[in-house]
Structure 1
Amino acid sequence: MSSNETKEQENMEEQREETMEPNEAGSEANEATATADAEQGEQTTADASAQIAELQRQADDYHSRYLRGQADFDNFRRRTLKEKEEQSQYASLKLITQMLPVLDNFQRALQTSAEAADGGSFAKGVDMIYRQLFQVLEAEGLKEMDAVGQPFDPEHHQAIMQVESEEYEEGIVVEAVQKGYWLKDKVIRPAMVKVSG
């Protein structure tokens, strides 16, 4: 080999060594980067696991709250139904309690009529009972209709007869055969009336 060739060969080897040194340094840098990436990945995985655990805890908490709310609602619904049943069963309790003294007075009047021959005291007793009964019903909102002298209204009156009248114009109620009643603002029984024709 010539000295030129030897020099060239030496130069090539030097260049190889120079190119190899940065590669080895790069490989060490790559290993360091990979290690850092792996550590960062492990940290990210740990953070994600912590977030998942927190979200799971929140989901469990919301689910238990939902179940408690559902149970409370079911209890409320059952309690309300029971109260409604009791109210409908005992709706007339107050009225019946107020009617008991009226029943007592009817019994007394019947006993008095059997013992006494005086019909006047019996009539007075029955009249007192009627007034007492009407007061109880009035307190509950019952009102009598004043039909006589009023224009005929098919929503409030039930005409059973048409009569000639000099006292009233045509279409006016002349006589109430059976009284009509209101319960507060509602007609519960229309009055049976005779109407002038």
Structure 2
Amino acid sequence: MTDPNRPNDDPANGAQAGEPVVSKPYVMPDDPEQGSVEALAKEAADARDKMLRTLAEMENLRKRTSREVADARVYGITGFARDVLEIADNLQRALDAVPPEAKAAADPGLQALIDGVELTERSLLNALEKNGVKKFDPSGEKFDPNFQQAMYEVPDPSVPSGTVVQVVQAGYMIGDRVLRPALVAVSKGGAKAAPVPANGNEPDNEA
């Protein structure tokens, strides 16, 4: 005998007798995180791009700083070296002022003075060279305006036109730069000088 007050355990309870039970389909909700993932991916890409740019800038700064430090080490004495050249010039002028015959017949006192001036000049040039400053003499070379300054021309058909036939004042290099160009006299009237090689003709002579 069935108790009329007992709940009906039939899953179809509430449906009319004889009607089939139909389950509601599961609807996948919209993904609320999709937009956030895309935004995070874009932020990550932007951050990576900024990081790479920063690293590149830091590397460029490091290279530029290293180059400036190296240049300062080599060229930091440029002003001082240029002032010292006047002393070297005066020593050379003092030696040039003594005629060859006077040197040959010099008494011991004069010879000692000449030797002292020569020793002082050599010591000064050695000190300059230790600091990257080198003297060069372009005598006999083809005139190169990058390293020499022409003071006048000398008619001389025995050498190619444009040849340095006289050095009025020696030139100096500091590192790979011209500290002071050599003052020279250039020949004219001779055969045309051979062209300078493509790699240039940097003077490396030392007096």
TM tier, smaller: 0.3 to 0.5
Q: Using CA pairs under 8 Å that are at least 6 residues apart, name the structure with larger relative contact order, 1 or 2.
A: 2
More helix by share: 1
TM-score (normalised: structure 2): 0.40
